[in-house]
Amino acid sequence: DTAVSQTPKYLVTQMGNDKSIKCEQNLGHDTMYWYKQDSKKFLKIMFSYNNKELIINETVPNRFSPKSPDKAHLNLHINSLELGDSAVYFCASSQASGNSPLHFGNGTRLTVT
């Protein structure tokens, strides 16, 4: 009955590989997000995506690309993984109004070796 689910929970891979993290929400929300949590547990938004617009954070390398097959899914693809990509990645969703709380997934811990 999970509202926002992301898989896998853990992902260990080598430098240079391409990987994907999947996210699904069953809340009927219009907006989904990807956040990166760094080693100091600071959450930074990477992307937000709704039915009408994809907003890309300029500080995110273009190796990261969100893909949304429908409004209930927002997957994160990462090409040519680097050591610095190691972090916990959180997916979230909300109503498009912006005044509703965000619902977060449990996170995916990515380790690049």
Partner 1 sequence: KQEVTQIPAALSVPEGENLVLNCSFTDSAIYNLQWFRQDPGKGLTSLLLIQSSQREQTSGRLNASLDKSSGRSTLYIAASQPGDSATYLCARIATVDSNYQLIWGAGTKLIIKP
Q: How far apart are CA 10 and CA 109, in angstroms?
A: 5
From the list 21-29, 61-69, 72-80, 100-108, the region that binds partner 1 by CB under 8 A is 100-108
Q: 3-state class of 99 per DSSP?
A: coil
* Nearer of residues 15 and 96 to partner 1, judged by Cβ: 96
Q: Which of 28, 69, 84, 98 binds partner 1 (CB under 8 A)?
A: 98
SS3 content of the chain, % helix, strand, coil (to 5): 5, 55, 45
Q: Is 56 in the site for partner 1 (CB under 8 A)?
A: no
| Token digits of residue 11 | 């992902």
Stretch that binds partner 1, among 17-25, 30-38, 62-70, 77-85 (CB under 8 A): 30-38
Q: Considering the rule CB under 8 A, would residue 63 count as an interface residue with partner 1?
A: no
Q: Confirm or reject binding of residue 35 to partner 1 (CB under 8 A).
A: yes
55 binds partner 1 (CB under 8 A): yes
- Round to whole Å and give the CA distance between 82 and 33: 22
The correct pick among 1, 14, 40, 69 for binding partner 1 (CB under 8 A) is 40
- Burial class of residue 79, CB neighbours in 10 A (0-12, 13-18, 19+): middle
